[in-house]
Amino acid sequence: MLAPERRTRADLYAAAAIAVVVVIVLVAVWAISDARGTVSQPAAHPLGPVTPADSPPTALRELWDAPDGAAGRALFGGGVAITGDGGTVTGRDPATGAQVWKYQRDMPLCGLEVQQGTVVATYRDRRGCSQTTLLTADTGARRAARSSYMDDAVRLSSDGTYVVALGRDRMELWRPDLVRTLEYGYVDAPMNVRTQPRHDCALFSASSNTSRVAVVERCPDDAAVRLTVLNPAPKDNTVPEEYGSHVLTEPGAVSDGVRVIAVTDNRIALYLPGTSTAAPELAVYDQAANFVGAHRLSGPIADTTATVRLGATFFVTTGTSLIALNATTLDPVWTAPDVLGTPVMLAGQLLAPIAEGLAVLDPGTGAQLSRIPVERKDYHREPSSLTLAGSIVLESRGGRLHGLGR
């Protein structure tokens, strides 16, 4: 029978030294980890669904407001109003503005979106706007995360199926679970550079739907901007599949102000700023980026233009008016003057922001049916965005979200 092993003093010293090293490593890892700079305060009791209003209100007032510099539009999901400021995303009671949940990181927000009951929050680190977190909208609980090389500034948009993250040099599309379905433009992996049809172009604008993503870009050897139409979910997310790509020849196509306005399965609408001799136009292209036709506009569209789809119509803000587009052909249907932002549908009628408050419009003709006065504080006719939270109207403007109610 073997004699039992005996612990020597050297063994004890070695074990103690190993333990100290392990503790030091764990502390060092924690000190530089993302967890150390993250505060997550999920909702203990979600608010639950809201009750839709059955008729437009006759009067509204500002009930509350909160900083909201990251979203770019009014966001609502999971029964809460969503705001983003600095490095903090907050879910708020839409009636009072009180905090329901909070998610905070020690890095600035690049963008914020909502999709299918979740909140997509993108943060900037040393690699650009590369860190994205997916939160459950009703509770603020963390569901998923992704990290990849991105530009220092990105614009997030959602079509209900895909989130588009667009930077000047690079674009990505993500599924609702943040899995990437497409990378386009500049790539930092040398082996993937050759998979891109063009990798040194400046990306100006993009928009998507479930079957198409349209990108306006300017490449070094092109005489004007280029419209490229892509599959939003190719077989290999690192290898884009093009449906068509053409350098535009229409008036105004040499301008960096060309923007994607709307995308359907078989039509794409672009804003062309025009020239000294040609008026601005809304140009329509097919699913392969071929020119179909153009509609002359009465004036230029502001850089703050935004588009929202409500039912069978796209609504486009110009900065001074609202244009309704047929959702099939993308042809203009009507124009309503003096509208300062994107509308929302309430009980079959449109609510649109105007200088005096909100206008109630007929969605079929754009005719103004009535006005709802709103006394806004610190208001300078900024472009705004509306969404509904039951009977509460949420208005995003001037870097703040405002709750409007009776």
Indicate the domain borders of the chain.
42-405
**Across the strands, what pairs with 361?**
350, 368
Instruction: Please compute the mean of the pLDDT values over residues 320-326 and round it to a whole number.
Output: 97
Q: Amino acid identity of 45?
A: H
Q: Which CATH superfamily is domain 42-405 in?
A: YVTN repeat-like/Quinoprotein amine dehydrogenase (2.130.10.10)
CB 171 within 8 A of CB 165: yes
Q: So what's the pLDDT on residue 33?
A: 46
**CA proximity to 388, closest of 324, 325, 345, 359:** 345
Tell me what the mean pLDDT of segment 213-240 comes to: 97
Sign of CA dihedral 279, 352, 161, 87: positive
> Minimum mean pLDDT among 46-60, 184-198, 358-372, 379-393: which range?
184-198
Mean pLDDT of 283-306: 95
Query: What is the model's pLDDT at position 30?
Result: 42
Q: Indicate the pTM of the whole model.
A: 0.88
Instruction: Kindly report the length of the chain.
Output: 406
Contact 351, 344 (CB under 8 A): yes
Determine the average pLDDT of the residues in 361-382.
92
Query: Contact 279/297 with Cβ under 8 angstroms?
Result: yes
3-state secondary structure of 363: coil
Q: Please check the confidence at residue 305 and state whether its pLDDT lies above 70.
A: yes
Identify any residues that bridge with 337 across adjacent strands, giving them in sequence order.
321
CB 228 within 8 A of CB 218: no
For residue range 88-143, what is the model confidence (pLDDT) as tens digits?
A: 999 999 999 999 999 999 999 999 999 999 999 999 999 999 999 999 999 999 99
Three-state secondary structure call for residue 140: coil
Q: Which residues contact residue 252 at a Cβ distance below 8 angstroms, ignoring those fewer than 6 apart?
A: 258, 272, 273, 274, 275, 278, 280, 281
**Residue 173 reports pLDDT greater than 50:** yes
Mean pLDDT for 363-388 is 93
Which pLDDT value is given to residue 377? 84
Looking at residue 23, what is its pLDDT? 45
Q: Which residues contact 355 (CB under 8 A, 6 or more apart)?
A: 338, 340, 381
Q: CA–CA separation, 46 vs 55, rounded Å?
A: 26
Q: Are 134 and 117 in contact (CB under 8 A)?
A: no
Confidence band (pLDDT; 50, 70, 90) for 31?
Answer: very low
